[in-house]
Amino acid sequence: MKKVTRASPLRSPMDAAPRTVLLAVLGESPAILTETAWALAKEKPSVVPNRVRVLTTTQGASRLNRELLSPAPQFAGLTPWQALREEVLGTEAAQSESALVLEPPLAIYSCEPGRSTARELDDVRTRAENEAAADFILEEVRRLAAHPDTRLVASIAGGRKTMGALLYGAMTLLGREIDRVTHVLVEPPFDQHLEPTFFFPRAREKHRLIQRDGHFSEHSATAKTITLADLPFVPLRNAFADLGQEVGDFADLVGRYSKALPQCAAGSLRGSLTESPPGVVINGRVYPLDSADGKLGAQLAILRTLFAVQP
């Protein structure tokens, strides 16, 4: 029996999806996570992820636990993540609602020849480590995108640039049109080391930027301090649904897509129409047409023109 989850009034209103998952790659700047979650919550309509999943290294996981999940004086003993939840959800709701739940960070690991156990990566620098990261990131995207009741927001702002590029690539390979890829932008000097650390804008909170000569300047953040940019991507799985059924590793899936794309460019895309029931057939796959809105005639006329089919 399918488990029924109680809908939260703070659930993200993105389309009809009952839950939103924020998937982020992260390095040694954990504040990117709070900045992204805060920016999503301030969108109109507001987007409040139910779960937050982080892909990182052992160094990144250690820093996340130390900087986001340890009590901080600037938040009166709360951890920065607890303070963010109270800021976004409200104090009472933060105690009762299942939203903005930060999962334990997942350290990218490598399965190496001659080793009986996988090795968690401290960093992603070598070619082998990048290949391991590619496969790891692709598998997490596959897991999340396999659930039709989940909308995925992928943040590429953290970690090494290759990690962000790999997450963007994984979203292109397996993401759906309902998913998003984002990058968070923070205005200077809030993108620098401040005292106290900047995690998200808070009313009446001042941050000091220490100069090399010992002098400092004070700065207060506003709503415009953080900007969330959406990066368009092409969901290739829509064109090659059969290729995504057995995902394999990152390089293998890229190779299969690359092999299939020239066939479409060479004119191997075959289309035809069916009258009863009304539909369009593309490379043997039937896509039914909706006749409920009274626009079936116009749809058929357009498709006949595209496929050079005579009525």
- Is the bond into 196 cis (omega within 30 degrees of 0)? yes
3-class DSSP state for residue 64?
Answer: helix
- 228 lies in the same domain as 275: no
Secondary structure of residue 124 in the 3-state scheme: coil
Domain residue limits at 290: 270-307
CA 100, 104, 105, 109 torsion: positive or negative? Answer: negative
CA distance 251 to 255: 6
> How does pLDDT run across 15-40, given as a tens digit for each residue?
444 699 999 999 999 999 999 999 99
Indicate if 111 and 162 belong to the same structural domain: yes
Mean pLDDT of the chain: 84
Does any domain span residue 7? no
Last residue within a domain, chosen from 214, 232, 256: 256
Q: Which of 151, 162, 167 is nearest to 51 (CA)?
A: 151
User: How high is the pLDDT of residue 212?
Assistant: 77
Share of the chain above pLDDT 70, in %: 78
Same-domain status, 173 and 206: yes
Q: Same domain for 73 and 188?
A: yes
Same domain for 148 and 278?
no
**Taking 70 as the threshold, does the pLDDT of residue 301 lie above it?**
no
CA atoms of 54 and 129, how far apart (whole Å)? 18
Model confidence over 208-229: pLDDT tens digits?
A: 998 877 788 999 999 899 999 9
Going by pLDDT thresholds of 50, 70 and 90, the confidence category of residue 119 is very high
Band (257; pLDDT cuts 50, 70, 90)? confident
- Tell me how far apart the alpha carbons of residues 253 and 173 are, in angstroms, rounded to a whole number: 8
Domain count, the chain: 2
Residue 15 backbone zone (phi > 0: left; psi -120 to 50: alpha; other: beta): left
Give the rounded percent of residues in the chain with a pLDDT score beyond 90: 61
pLDDT tens figures, 37-63: 999 999 999 999 999 999 999 999 999
My answer on whether 101 and 69 are in the same domain is yes
Cβ contact 267:308 at 8 Å: no
> What pTM, to 2 d.p., does this model score?
0.77
pLDDT at residue 165 in the model: 94
Same domain, 153 and 300: no
Cis peptide before 13 (omega within 30 of 0): no
Only one residue has tokens 């799985």, namely 237
pLDDT recorded at residue 210: 86
> Which residues are CB-neighbours of 275 under 8 A, at least 6 positions away?
none
**The most confident of 7-11, 175-179, 234-238, by mean pLDDT:** 175-179
Residue 16 pLDDT: 46
> How high is the pLDDT of residue 213?
76
**Per the domain annotation, does 1 fall within a domain?**
no
For residue 235, the domain's CATH number is 3.40.50.10770
Residue found under tokens 């009034």: 9
- Cα–Cα distance measured from residue 260 to residue 187, given in angstroms and rounded to the nearest whole number: 43
259 Cβ neighbours under 8 A, 6+ residues apart: none
Neighbours of 283 (CB within 10 A): 13
- pLDDT of 3 strictly over 50: no
